[in-house]
Chain A
């Protein structure tokens, strides 16, 4: 080829050859279909053109000249002009680069050589929608489940946190880059692929590589989008009149003879619509994000710099966020030495204030929100309620969070002898967080006083260092290919924090602690922490003739979280693959383009517990008593220790099949897995009589099994100018607890207000199943009331009929039952990409659907919203409340008569003050089907055609518009079936909506956006 190149260069310099002739060319896809609008350049010349509707072009060229053909969605191709004047140049669709290389832990492998379960995420999808990484992981990768940002790979591996490990360019715990800076994402799902990360691979690994500079001219990329967002589903509340009528009925039902009705509510018809605080808290949010990058380089030095600016205004008032980011990437080669780095800087500032959504829902709709006569302008609670005005809190308090982070790594590799490469990798992960909270000096009505004002400032720093030394060796001996890896890594982290507070600031504008007038109010505190890990790792890949593939992995981890005795854990794995399609007998099946069987088995670990659990310690935190108003500090052990705590182990088997048919058009990946977690680290609940309050010891107790299937299928084709790709994935997982420590069960998921546990994890069932009373509708006859008199003495018609399951005439926890599971039977996604090439440009459309089937949600927000036990507002659903008979109620205060019609055909209980029958106890009434199907992403784009772009000297220009969470199909009555509250990390309290009054959030708003992608 070299001589050709030189020849062409000479000729182009000459530019006077008489051999120049007219070439009629055609650009076709690998299926032989013409490609319209493809760009054709002549190498080292300014000459260029593009194809017409038939995919044809005409150019005057010399033999030996090189054409560079490119088109969106295809790999760029070069073609050397020979003697023929009629040429056809095929373009290979970009997706089927046969030698696609994927990143694996501490290395790279050809995709076809993989023996473990690794999902490769299509990075084109990432930039289609704001927050594209999460949306794509959720929609397009089987076995990955995302609930409100919490990612679980292949089920619930443990009762503990099941967050996967992120590795960015080799940095363990790296910072997730902006979507536009991501070159590839792979999800390591089985033990074989993640065992190289040992103790931290148990929950799967998400490997990210960033885009790096390439040799060639300097390129500028500008990508930006902006959008607006709204709440996707609001919950209707009672208006003022409806609430007044409800409260009067509650009071009447409590005691029909009473006379002391609330005067303010005595004429419901005068109150009318009333007020809705929730609506006042909501707004149309908006956001924008800009990413500008410059990249380029030469043979020996490449760079890529990018800057990010983003803003976000929430759909709830008083919550704004600004983000600035920068990424520095470069690679240098000098002889056998290569040096590179990835460094990300990020700074985020959030200005916000607390909003208690349930308080806003409870706000009496009979009360105005504003009061022109009050010093703050806000009205206080009343009419029987003393709830804080969430609206006033939103404006009178403020928080500022500053978060600055530096995350990245630098490495050097040196090829010692051919095939043997030493790599030194050093990573840093620094974060500096500053939080400032200010509560103003105010008095809002009778119940919301804050005087004097108060300022709290805290600042923390986290420093983490990573050092890795690895040796890799690769060589081929005939048909045997071997690669091996060995290394030693260490990691340390340190945490420091200080906080300070004071009251009585000179002015809300002077937020300086030492200017606070109340010297006695000054508070200071600090905290420190540290952890460390030391590991050895190794891997051998063996490949015979590209047919038989074998991989061994080994990692030995030592963690400071365990005592000397139990410090180290060994995590080996083995996997094998057989590329059947490479066998000669497969020539008989030309339809099969790729067929591979894979199997893997391995052991992973988990050390993710709080530090120092094995040490018995005395704590001084908040241990004091003011004797005669002088503080005397004390000492008390506050955490029950476990000196014998050790590694959690996860045994994982994976069987996989990769099949591609019809020239790679149809691809199918099927994986079956069986993961068993043993010696599970659990905060085992102990008796409170032990005296440790809510602190439980961490024990190695119990085991859990997850078995399931991940199936991914896709089909792509090009029909004329029309190209499409459709994909579908589904994952099934069956979770089962095999054993648990102590009593073989754990009750968890304590809900407000009482703290009742609503999940029970028990042997033979799945983790975190809902637990509570079962009900049998409402009491609708006196006979039913008489029958249950013994255990429901306070019940009346329309109260909830709880089941005395064991028939002992006592209603207690012995009558509780499993009520459903937050774990879906299966989760699934579809995606479709369509593009149409025309002379004026390329149109594209893509969609991602995502769903979850068979999971339940414990909707605790209905405790308040459908409680009807107080003077608070309720959901509009309570209009359908039970009424045994028509009630004609004459208000003794106003004399106004309200007619309440009979309503017995309903599931909503009667309204009664104080809830004497305890209708609100945790029961299956609050368990709802959480299944849903959601149109996560819809994106329509237009890319300008190549000829036009060339005139403008632009490589690429695409505009797009789209929507996120546009459609949701669900029966769930809450704000969002992707439940946004509760401790999302804990699998024991998953799927509880409104677990605490401040626990409601809106993770998924409906968004509309537009954007631009621009390269020149």
Chain B
């Protein structure tokens, strides 16, 4: 019997030794705890980066991929081609189930979340940090929250949720709709704070590592734009021209910005972050293929060149109306469009093609054009490139300022700023393709007074008032730069006649915004959709 016990004891010991308990407190070897992060100034730097990245779109609903469709298609200037059917953005018929809008929704909310988290952590930060650096970081975070919100409310309307703190617990997972005006107020407030906290462009960009970040001028310009977009952001309310004017004037007076001599410099990859640039979305074609680095732009591929020409997709194209808006002798037409007597395109196989070739290849939709703006003249093999999207240019500051002056009756002042933009348009562009006339001789569009004297009518609008000329000038200066639809909306809220071009395409007040994504409404029962959901 004794031996039995010895054996049993031995067995018990054996079990003790051989069954070592594994460590069950495993922490994620690839990530760090939120409780221990955000404890150094460098970690705070890291916190604002994802709020910038959201503009590109982590699920590619931002400027990298989808956003240009959503911003351009509803305008009267762009139409979808035969290559993309069905494309409901263009026909004001976007269903709530649309996948593209859902990506955009996710991406900008991701940006709001990142900005909220950054604001919270920077404010609560108790460690050592240079006060200027802290101000700059906080300014960036406010700027980015406002910019992400601006996009959300322009696309989906002001009834989106108002979220101004980081979402971290179950209680925050299902927000309801914002009160009317609240989102507008948040955006204004954030841009204001940012404009106070951020350093000037000259101060910040002295360090080349800082180039591309938000600046005081960018915050002021966007604050002005927010005031002018008030009829959209706080639906139906009048634009706040007086406050916009103040902000625009201080941008102009800062003397930090100037128009580039060549209009086309604003759309070339090698001329990124130039003097005309108030704010750019920084894009880069990294080593990953097909946007794998999620930092590159698909724009040229998808909406640039004509179909049938070395692989471009030509899903969205400027229509005849956009083409006809250009005045005779305006070089911008040829820097904006792939059109008759315009620039040539070199295909991947080395073949140089012209408008005649493109028309020959084209199956249908022959009265549409290509968008040369941001599109390279020589085809690149990769679908994507790294050309920054200049979403706020100094010429926009000038024209918006002219608009403000005109609103309070300063016609002479308005003319002066419009003329700055028109004059630049006539500049010789020495880097241009040699066969294009404006490579050697100036453009021939007259100043505002000359234009009025000509008595032109463009697409049914007589160019006989400053307002109409501003409308025309914005159309041609910013074609393909995401302004037209929102310009028409903000003007149309005050004067419905500006909505007529949209109504011709099937627009109705109901279709002013995209519907909230159905997947959002599926998940969040506290949220009600907008008019387009009903």
Q: Which residues of A contact B50 (CB under 8 A)?
A: 623, 625, 634-636
Q: Is B99 an interface residue (CB 8 A)?
A: yes
Using A490-B22, A491-B22, A754-B95 as known contacts, say yes or no to A621 and B30 having CB atoms under 8 A apart: yes
The minimal Cβ–Cβ distance linking B38 to chain A, given in whole angstroms, is: 8
Q: Is A480 an interface residue (CB 8 A)?
A: no
The minimal Cβ–Cβ distance linking B534 to chain A, given in whole angstroms, is: 5
The minimal Cβ–Cβ distance linking A300 to chain B, given in whole angstroms, is: 22
Cα–Cα, bound, A686→B172 (Å): 9
Contact segment of A186-194, A314-322, A742-750, A981-989: A742-750
Q: Which residues of A contact B47 (CB under 8 A)?
A: 634-636
Q: Is B378 an interface residue (CB 8 A)?
A: no
Contact indicator A469/B363 (Cβ below 8 Å): no
Q: Is B96 an interface residue (CB 8 A)?
A: yes
Using A687-B174, A688-B109, A689-B163 as known contacts, say yes or no to A490 and B20 having CB atoms under 8 A apart: yes
Q: Is A581 an interface residue (CB 8 A)?
A: no
Contact indicator A628/B99 (Cβ below 8 Å): no
Contact of A469 among B18, B111, B163, B386 (CB under 8 A): B18
Cα–Cα, bound, A692→B170 (Å): 13
Using A446-B311, A690-B109, A747-B519 as known contacts, say yes or no to A263 and B363 having CB atoms under 8 A apart: yes
CB nearest to A443 among chain B residues: B348
Q: Is B352 an interface residue (CB 8 A)?
A: no
Q: Is B206 an interface residue (CB 8 A)?
A: no
CB nearest to B29 among chain A residues: A528
Cα–Cα, bound, A626→B293 (Å): 10
Q: Which residues from 306 to 334 on chain B have a C-beta closer than 8 Å to any C-beta of chain A?
A: 307-313
Contact indicator A631/B286 (Cβ below 8 Å): yes
Q: Which residues of A contact B523 (CB under 8 A)?
A: 685-688, 747
Contact of B37 among A417, A454, A635, A686 (CB under 8 A): A635
Q: Which residues from 209 to 248 on chain B have a C-beta closer than 8 Å to any C-beta of chain A?
A: 209-213
Cα–Cα, bound, A448→B19 (Å): 58
Q: Which residues of A contact B106 (CB under 8 A)?
A: 688, 693-694
Q: Is A620 an interface residue (CB 8 A)?
A: yes
Contact indicator B348/A616 (Cβ below 8 Å): no
Q: Which residues from 497 to 552 on chain A have a C-beta closer than 8 Å to any C-beta of chain B?
A: 501, 503, 518, 520-523, 527-534
CB nearest to A445 among chain B residues: B311
Q: Which residues of A contact B174 (CB under 8 A)?
A: 686-687, 742-743
Contact of A623 among B8, B53, B209, B288 (CB under 8 A): B53
Contact indicator B311/A449 (Cβ below 8 Å): yes
Contact indicator A690/B22 (Cβ below 8 Å): no
Cα–Cα, bound, A533→B23 (Å): 9
Contact indicator A416/B8 (Cβ below 8 Å): yes
Using A615-B27, A628-B211, A689-B175 as known contacts, say yes or no to A743 and B14 having CB atoms under 8 A apart: no
Q: Is A913 an interface residue (CB 8 A)?
A: yes
Q: Which residues of A contact B85 (CB under 8 A)?
A: 869-871, 913-915
Q: Is A611 an interface residue (CB 8 A)?
A: yes
Which among A386, A450, A492 has the highest number of chain B CB atoms within 10 Å? A386
Q: Is A100 an interface residue (CB 8 A)?
A: no
Contact of B109 among A612, A626, A691, A871 (CB under 8 A): A691
Using A384-B82, A447-B311, A560-B25 as known contacts, say yes or no to A628 and B282 having CB atoms under 8 A apart: yes
Q: Is B391 an interface residue (CB 8 A)?
A: no
The minimal Cβ–Cβ distance linking B49 to chain A, given in whole angstroms, is: 3
Q: Which residues of B contact A742 (CB under 8 A)?
A: 173-174
Contact segment of A126-134, A195-203, A916-924: A916-924
Q: Which residues from 336 to 381 on chain B have a C-beta closer than 8 Å to any C-beta of chain A?
A: 348-349, 363-366, 381
Q: Which residues of A contact B29 (CB under 8 A)?
A: 528-530
CB nearest to A630 among chain B residues: B209
Cα–Cα, bound, A934→B11 (Å): 54
Q: Is B208 an interface residue (CB 8 A)?
A: yes
Q: Is A722 an interface residue (CB 8 A)?
A: no
Contact indicator B19/A918 (Cβ below 8 Å): no
Q: Which residues of A contact B132 (CB under 8 A)?
A: none
Cα–Cα, bound, A780→B368 (Å): 36
Contact of B28 among A467, A612, A757 (CB under 8 A): A612
Cα–Cα, bound, A694→B520 (Å): 11
Using A628-B282, A635-B49, A687-B523 as known contacts, say yes or no to A612 and B287 having CB atoms under 8 A apart: no
Q: Is B113 an interface residue (CB 8 A)?
A: yes
Q: Is A618 an interface residue (CB 8 A)?
A: yes
Contact of B83 among A384, A624, A699 (CB under 8 A): A384
Q: Which residues of A contact B153 (CB under 8 A)?
A: none
Q: Which residues from 662 to 716 on chain A have a C-beta closer than 8 Å to any C-beta of chain B?
A: 685-694, 697, 699
Q: Which residues of B contact A446 (CB under 8 A)?
A: 307-312
Using A384-B363, A417-B4, A628-B208 as known contacts, say yes or no to A690 and B24 having CB atoms under 8 A apart: no
Secondary structure type dominating chain B contacts: loop
Contact indicator B86/A687 (Cβ below 8 Å): no
Contact indicator B49/A454 (Cβ below 8 Å): no
Q: Which residues of B contact A273 (CB under 8 A)?
A: none
Cα–Cα, bound, A718→B109 (Å): 73
Q: Which residues from 499 to 522 on chain B have a C-beta closer than 8 Å to any C-beta of chain A?
A: 517-522
Cα–Cα, bound, A906→B445 (Å): 60
Which among B109, B213, B287, B521 has the highest number of chain A CB atoms within 10 Å? B287
Using A490-B19, A522-B287 as known contacts, say yes or no to A688 and B520 having CB atoms under 8 A apart: yes
The minimal Cβ–Cβ distance linking B344 to chain A, given in whole angstroms, is: 17
Q: Is A781 an interface residue (CB 8 A)?
A: no
The minimal Cβ–Cβ distance linking B213 to chain A, given in whole angstroms, is: 6
Q: Which residues from 435 to 487 on chain A have a C-beta closer than 8 Å to any C-beta of chain B?
A: 439, 443, 446-452, 454, 467-469, 471
Q: Is B69 an interface residue (CB 8 A)?
A: no
Contact indicator B97/A690 (Cβ below 8 Å): no
Contact segment of B421-429, B430-438, B525-533: B525-533
Q: Is B161 an interface residue (CB 8 A)?
A: yes
Q: Is B46 an interface residue (CB 8 A)?
A: yes
Using A532-B26, A618-B32 as known contacts, say yes or no to A691 and B110 having CB atoms under 8 A apart: yes
Contact indicator A617/B348 (Cβ below 8 Å): no
Cα–Cα, bound, A424→B19 (Å): 10
Contact indicator A625/B22 (Cβ below 8 Å): no
The minimal Cβ–Cβ distance linking B134 to chain A, given in whole angstroms, is: 17
Cα–Cα, bound, A169→B448 (Å): 90
Q: Is B21 an interface residue (CB 8 A)?
A: yes
Using A384-B83, A534-B24, A754-B99 as known contacts, say yes or no to A635 and B46 having CB atoms under 8 A apart: yes
Q: Is B98 an interface residue (CB 8 A)?
A: yes
Contact indicator A687/B28 (Cβ below 8 Å): no
Using A449-B311, A757-B519 as known contacts, say yes or no to A534 and B109 having CB atoms under 8 A apart: no
CB nearest to A527 among chain B residues: B30
Q: Which residues of A contact B111 (CB under 8 A)?
A: 691
Q: Is A324 an interface residue (CB 8 A)?
A: no
Using A750-B519, A754-B95, A869-B85 as known contacts, say yes or no to A384 and B364 having CB atoms under 8 A apart: yes
Interface string of A600-643 (1 = CB under 8 A from B): 00000000000110011111111111111111111111001010
Q: Is B128 an interface residue (CB 8 A)?
A: no
Cα–Cα, bound, A520→B56 (Å): 22
Q: Which residues of B contact A692 (CB under 8 A)?
A: 110, 113, 167
Residues of B at under 8 Å CB distance from A?
Answer: 4, 7-8, 11, 14-15, 18-35, 37, 43, 46-50, 52-53, 56, 58-59, 82-83, 85-88, 91, 93, 95-99, 102, 105-107, 109-114, 116-117, 160-161, 163, 167-168, 170, 172-175, 208-213, 272-273, 282-284, 286-289, 294-295, 307-313, 348-349, 363-366, 381-382, 386, 517-527, 529, 533-534
Residues of A at under 8 Å CB distance from B?
Answer: 251, 260-264, 382-384, 386, 414, 416-417, 420, 422, 424, 439, 443, 446-452, 454, 467-469, 471, 488-492, 501, 503, 518, 520-523, 527-534, 558-560, 564, 567, 611-612, 615-637, 640, 642, 685-694, 697, 699, 742-743, 747, 750, 752-757, 794, 810, 812-813, 869-871, 913-916, 918, 920-922
What are 13 A-to-B residue pairs whose CB atoms are below 8 Å?
A: A503-B287, A521-B287, A612-B27, A616-B35, A621-B30, A626-B386, A635-B32, A636-B47, A637-B117, A685-B523, A794-B93, A813-B96, A913-B85
**Pairs of residues from A and B, 7 with the lowest C-beta to C-beta distance, nearest first:** A691-B113, A634-B49, A451-B381, A626-B284, A747-B522, A617-B31, A756-B97
